[in-house]
Chain A
Amino acid sequence: MSDSPVSHHSGIPSDKGPEKASDEQNAQMEQAYAQMRRKLRMTQLSEKIRHKIMVLSGKGGVGKSTVATGLALSLAQQGHKVGLLDIDITGPNVPKMMGLGGQGLHVEDGLIHPTVGHLGVKVISMAFLLEDEDTPVVWRGPIKLGAIQQFIADVEWGELDYLILDFPPGTSDEPLTVTQSLPDIDGIVIVTTPQDVALLDSRKSISFAKTLNVPVLGVVENMSGFTVRGKVEPNTKVELQAPGGKNVETISDEDGQWSATLDIFKQGGGKDTAEELEVPFLGALPFDPGVVRGGDDGVHRIVADPEGESALAFAKVVEALSEQLSEEDEPGINII
């Protein structure tokens, strides 16, 4: 707290006898005490949360929030207790994706209680601070970072298996604040798209991760390929002519629904970047129109269509991710 006011003592003994703390001193003491309590809570909180994963990207709009929400839902679908913290104070969009709108904050005993979204995922978003969802908060500098610290320390998450943290785009102050406040972060998932510029940006975010001193758990390539869907007779083979002269085949389900993913951009960019930078590749997620259904009911594809292409792709990413987490500390179970 380098910017805290310094009190000046004149050196002249006060005539009020034994010193009474001035209001200023009281305020300072209170502040210091609050700071200590917060630090203690951070440590306690950290112990109750098994895994903390940050989702970052170099560029905006690549699908961080979609991926963060998807990871949270996919983990919840497998039976984990999951929390999702949306730190994007200038443009929080996680609540909408989780089907939560205009919730406000639920405060009890001086602690903020998360709101429960789809599949029991606990959600805290900076959006809950907004009076009006469409007016972004323009907090700057220390106030913003202070709010983030407070948010992290004062939320009553309970026991969690995973806490997923969604950030604003770019290599800003927020991730730094979080890594400095929250101990034992497992690492960072970097979201990229197949286009070259986004890949370049993800290179930047990987080097940024190094400066944060937090491991990169891997790269996810979002909007890779295009998922088309349709309806025909039940249990019927559907054949599609894909770009590059390839054919894609799929079979419709009992209701006649089918979906298939076509590669439109050149593929494997995320994989190449991952290899080049020697970080794991966690998988590719298809471009899926309506991955998050718009409007107020904001249903994520994983919830609306738990066995569809997107849900399966997310499940694979989660599997790759949990392999990264287990590698660090072998459970040492003998399996016969």
Chain B
Amino acid sequence: MSEIPKLIELERTEKTAILRWGDGSEHTVPWKEIRYYCPCARCSPSRDEEGRANELRELIKSFRSEKPSVKTVGRYALAFEWSQGCSSGIHKFERLWDIANEEDPDHGKPYVHGAW
């Protein structure tokens, strides 16, 4: 896990999350981008394959813009609650940092398949 600056502030608008970090940087990220990268066990496998990844994108695009409610999880993640679609992901700060910096937060391996 690489070191990332501390997340200091999250400002929510209708369409975007504005993330302010300890190193003074600020990123504006569309919610739909964050939602696409939902790390839960249902959404993650969809990003494994091109076809389903696009389906996931389309699905998220179809949702209306919405400012989510938000909770901190421990001292390492945020959980968002939307009225439509998936709200079960725990979004770690490292992932949010990657998304903000337009890097793939999955680092090429969206989901480790267990024995199911």
A: which residues have CB within 8 A of B? 50-51, 76-80, 98-100, 116-121, 159, 161, 299, 303, 306, 315, 322, 325-326, 329-336
Contacts and interface: CB of A to CB of B under 8 A. Distances in A.
12 contacts: A76-B41, A77-B40, A77-B42, A78-B90, A79-B40, A99-B116, A116-B114, A119-B114, A121-B114, A306-B41, A331-B74, A335-B70
Nearest to B44: A79
A77 B115 CA distance: 14
A179 B86 CA distance: 37
Interface stretch (B4-12, B28-36, B48-56, B57-65): B4-12
A120 B113 contact: yes
Contacts of B10: 333-336
B75 interface: yes
Contact of B8 (A51, A98, A334): A334
A328 to B, nearest CB: 9
A78 B74 CA distance: 14
A78 B88 CA distance: 6
Contacts of B42: 77, 306
Contacts of A79: 38-41, 44, 89-90
Most B Cβ at <10 Å: residue of A76, A77, A78: A78
A202 B77 CA distance: 32
Output the residue of A50, A79, A116, A333 with the most chain B CB within 10 A: A79
Interface residues of B, number: 29
Interface of B: 1, 7-12, 38-42, 44, 70, 72-76, 78, 88-90, 111-116
Given A119-B116, A120-B112, 12 more contacts: A77-B41, A79-B40, A99-B116, A159-B1, A299-B116, A303-B116, A306-B41, A315-B88, A322-B74, A331-B74, A331-B76, A333-B8
Contact of B40 (A78, A120, A336): A78
Contact of B9 (A77, A306, A336): A336
B114 A333 contact: no
Contact of A331 (B1, B12, B44, B75): B75
A150 to B, nearest CB: 26
Given A78-B88, A78-B90, A334-B10, A117 B75 contact: no
B91 to A, nearest CB: 8
B50 to A, nearest CB: 21
Given A116-B115, A306-B42, A334-B10, A78 B89 contact: yes
